[in-house]
Amino acid sequence: KFRFPLRPVAVVRAHREGQAREAFAAAARAQAAAAARLAAARARAAGLADLVAAGRRAAFRAPDAAAFLRAYRQECAAEGEAAREAAAAAAELAARRTAYLAAHRDLKVVRQLEDRARADHRRAVARAEQTELDELAGFRALRRTPAFSP
């Protein structure tokens, strides 16, 4: 019967790889959400910029212009914050990707060791079976030949 001595190591590494995969997936979702928030903030800022430009073409009303400009500055600040969040999420995604790839590589090493050990075990078992068959064939051949030949 085959028994792999590093089986507990393989179990721990598989668990770590699963955790790293889940963290990578969560970081990917967070990065996608941050990119969506950034796109929405840019769209809102562009819409307000268009409103400010349209307000300048029409009759100038100072209170409206001041309110639009204040709102535009707030949207620009929100866009900047969303850009920082998107950059942070992208950096986190890269870190999680690196951690996942390292955990996957560690698990792959143990699986390759197990595959080699399993193949060595199969070869040893096949060799032992062949030796038994050779011995059995030798005994049968001895039984068939007479001990004393005339």
The owner of tokens 């999680």 is 96
Average pLDDT score over residue span 111-125: 95
Question: How would residue 149 be classed by pLDDT, with cut points 50, 70 and 90?
Answer: low
pLDDT tens for 17-30 read 999 999 999 999 99
Question: How would residue 141 be classed by pLDDT, with cut points 50, 70 and 90?
Answer: confident
The per-residue DSSP string of 71-101 comes to HHHHHHHHHHHHHHHHHHHHHHHHHHHHHHH
Residue 114, pLDDT above cutoff 70: yes
Short-list 17, 38, 116, CA closest to 84: 38
The Cα 94–Cα 88 span in angstroms is 10
Give the dihedral sign, CA 72/36/100/97. negative
Question: How would residue 50 be classed by pLDDT, with cut points 50, 70 and 90?
Answer: confident
Q: What is the pLDDT of residue 145?
A: 65
- If one compares 58 and 76, the residue with the highest pLDDT of the two is 76
Residue 146, pLDDT above cutoff 70: no
Q: What token pair was written down for 116?
A: 């080699």
Q: What is the pLDDT of residue 66?
A: 81
105 touches 14 (CB < 8 A): no
Average pLDDT score over residue span 36-47: 94
Q: What is the dihedral of CA 36, 41, 42, 48, to 10 degrees?
A: 150
